Homo-oligomer: A and B are copies of this chain.
Amino acid sequence: MKIRRSVTMEDIARMAHVSKPTVSRALRNSPLVTPETRKLVMDLAQKHGYVVNRNAQKLRQSRSDTIAVVLDFKSHRENRISDPFIFNLLAGVSEALGQREQDLLLCAPGHAEIESLSAIIASRGADGIIFLGEGERRPDFVDLAALGVPFVVWGSVEQDQSYCAVGSDNFHGGFLAGQHLLDRGRSRFLFVGDSRFHEISQRRQGLVAALAKSDKPTHLSDLIMDGFSYASTLEAARAMIESDKATVPDAVFAASDTAAMALISALGDAGLSVPGDVSVVGYNNIPGAEYFSPPLTTIGQDVHMAGALLVEKLMLHIEGRAPASTMLDTRLIVRESS
């Protein structure tokens, strides 16, 4: 199967002594073609290494069978990966798209602005967009929805949203974390995570709700930090512990497993043990959480299903339907060495 350009559908047609449309039908398994013709065409195509020109096909059908996927690579440069979780999600989406024979166009950071994104659709580069991670882009989503761009978002799911979202039940996840920490008899809480991010903010609210139900008095403080990397989390945590030894927390809920790991390190440096002195709960159940020492108690979600759902809903949207948002179950995964 040698690759030479220039082998076109017309060539195959000529060789098979049929017309171009017949070749087209044969290759696409149309029932309108006799098995003999089909076989003849198929064999010829195989023999000459012929493959339909996707660009011509797309132009003609005015459909690209391509989905653009946007993820927040910005925070992934220079090793500042916030959480490997998002890549599991990408793998799930990739697989789901593959099953539907849709191509996956991965958008570069530069293409993350709303104009570029709607341009991708307008230029027929993709039929729809999947955003992996909401971040601070909610206003963009509202605008895109108003423009009629077909897209779905992995992020927080709320009522009266003008677009379709799939996300874990962040509030419930935070609530579960809070309950778990209360069950451990903890009272001085620390929340770690950037609340400007909507999904993170909801996790915090879940925590607050759990604390509100407690009989005993509790105290909640926030770890404010610049950026989301391990390094900055670690630094902020160390500074906090140093500054006020008296109010060091005995319970930590971190909005990502990586942040939780950084915090456990900082606590260890200060001579505090986890889970002895401080209980910690993370989020996402990243591969690695299980093998961290100490093993990380965390909130897990079904990434594989998330990918499948995102794709399914987007396809519906592209076909003109209006898919509903879905909130995925979250579960507490307790990992105590004792």
| CB-based contact A80/B268 at 8 Å | no
Chain A, 258-283, CB within 8 A of any chain B CB: 258, 261-262, 264-265, 268
Asked if B103 contacts A98 (CB within 8 A), the reply is: no
- How many Å lie between the Cα of A5 and that of B56 in the bound state? 18
Q: Find out whether the CB atom of A291 lies under 8 angstroms from the CB atom of B262.
A: yes
Tell me, in angstroms, the Cα distance from A229 to B87 when the chains sit together: 16
Residue among B234, B268, B288 making CB contact with A261, cutoff 8 Å: B288
Complex CA gap A87/B81 in Å reads: 9
Q: A51 — which chain B residues lie within 8 A by C-beta?
A: 119, 122-123
Complex CA gap A52/B123 in Å reads 6
In whole angstroms, how far apart are the Cα atoms of A184 and B58 in the complex?
61
Contact at B106–A104, with CB atoms within 8 Å? Answer: yes
> What distance in Å separates the Cβ of A239 from its nearest Cβ neighbour in chain B?
16
A: number of interface residues (CB 8 Å): 72
Q: Which of B81, B87, B103, B115 contacts A287 (CB 8 A)?
A: B81
Q: Are A1 and B288 in contact (CB under 8 A)?
A: no
Number of copies: 2
CB distance from A102 to the nearest CB of B (A): 9
Q: Which of A17-25, A88-96, A156-164 contacts B (4 or more CB under 8 A)?
A: A88-96
Please name all residues of chain B whose beta carbon is closer than 8 Å to the beta carbon of A106 when the two chains form the complex. 69, 94, 104-106
Q: Which residues of B contact A88 (CB under 8 A)?
A: 76, 79, 81
In the complex, which residues 22-61 of chain A have their Cβ closer than 8 Å to any Cβ of chain B? Answer: 49-56, 58-59
CA A76 to CA B93, docked complex, whole Å: 12
CA distance A13 to B238 in the complex (A): 63
Contact A124 B262 (CB under 8 A): no
Query: 8 Å CB contacts to B: which residues of A101-126?
Result: 103-111, 115, 118-119, 121-125
Chain B residues lying within 8 Å of A110, measured Cβ to Cβ, are: 98-99
Q: Decide: A3 near B124, CB < 8 A? Known: A77-B95, A288-B258.
A: no
A residues 287-322 touching B (CB-CB < 8 Å): 287-288, 290-293, 303-304
**Which A residues contact B (CB, under 8 angstroms)?**
1-3, 5, 49-56, 58-59, 62, 64, 69, 73, 76-81, 84, 87-88, 91-92, 94-95, 97-99, 103-111, 115, 118-119, 121-125, 147-149, 229-231, 234, 258, 261-262, 264-265, 268, 287-288, 290-293, 303-304
- Would you list 13 pairs from A and B whose C-beta atoms are within 8 A, ordered by A residue? A1-B147, A3-B122, A54-B123, A55-B55, A56-B59, A59-B59, A73-B91, A77-B92, A77-B304, A81-B287, A98-B109, A106-B106, A261-B292
